[in-house]
Amino acid sequence: MARVIAVASGKGGTGKTTISANLGVALAKIGKETIVIDADITLANLELILGMEGLPVTLQDVLAGEADISDAVYTGPAGVKIVPAGISLEGLRKANPDKLEEVLYSLLDIAEFIIMDAPAGLEKSAIVALASSDEFLLVVNPEIASITDALKTKYVAERLGSKMLGIVVNRVTKLSVEIAKKEIEAILEGKVLAVVPEDPEVRKAAAFGQPVVLRNPKSPASKAIYELAGKIAGADVKIEESGKGFKRLLSIFKRR
């Protein structure tokens, strides 16, 4: 049965969707059956980051009762399964977020991990996503506003019965004004599982609709995300050398 992990943040702009997408791909790359669900039906971005926009059936359709979840599951890079949220305003109007838990239940037996990109903040769809998860990762930036908002999300998620798996500190530049790892752990009362540095390769990958962990697995951000995947999966992760074989693998995925 799958572990359902919500990737959450207190505010937008932390890089939560980038972490969700690349973590899912990294887990698939190390041999774990993984589904990534874009639960942010209001501001969906997952399919854009993965270069999978324009898919015919989405989570919006499923939550509206107009499609079965099996029709909204697509194979993405490295074999990761993707459930896109959809960007239709009409689909958003029809979608019922309360059906999310039912959708998740039907996927539990076909994956080892379900990574759910939860909406930022504490709106209704974010609450439903957190309540539907077994565990959650908090994605924060090393600044006080991000951490303060994340603390609110943590309290709500725990009251809903979800357990904090850990903290991902994203877009770290090591400037003196940033809040240190130990201070973040003290404020949020949790363990930092990954420190992901600010990395220009992330933006380059997103611009081409490719996960950075595949486009440049040796980049600083990719290494941090692979290490995070290893910690979550309880596995030793060896990052492949980039080369002809890896480039060929990317070209195969691009043709799909």
Residue 241 has pLDDT above 60, yes or no: no
The per-residue pLDDT for 95 is 85
The per-residue pLDDT for 97 is 86
Burial of 65 (0-12, 13-18, 19+ CB in 10 A): exposed
The pLDDT tens digits for 44-93 are: 889 989 999 989 999 999 999 999 999 999 999 999 999 999 876 665 67
Residue of 25, 60, 21, 23 lying closest to 43 (CA atoms): 60
Task: Sort residue 196 into left (φ over 0), alpha (ψ -120 to 50) or beta.
Answer: beta
What is the DSSP pairing of strand 113-117 with strand 3-8? parallel
Residue 18 has pLDDT above 90, yes or no: yes
The per-residue pLDDT for 96 is 87
The pLDDT tens digits for 135-174 are: 999 999 999 999 999 999 999 999 999 999 999 999 999 8
What is the DSSP pairing of strand 135-140 with strand 163-172? parallel
> What are the residue ranges of helices labelled H in 82-217?
89-94, 100-105, 124-131, 144-159, 181-188, 200-207, 212-215
136 in Cβ contact with 10 (< 8 Å): no
The per-residue pLDDT for 237 is 78
150 in Cβ contact with 9 (< 8 Å): yes
The per-residue pLDDT for 88 is 67
What mean pLDDT, rounded, does the chain reach?
Answer: 90
Structural class in CATH, domain 6-251: alpha beta
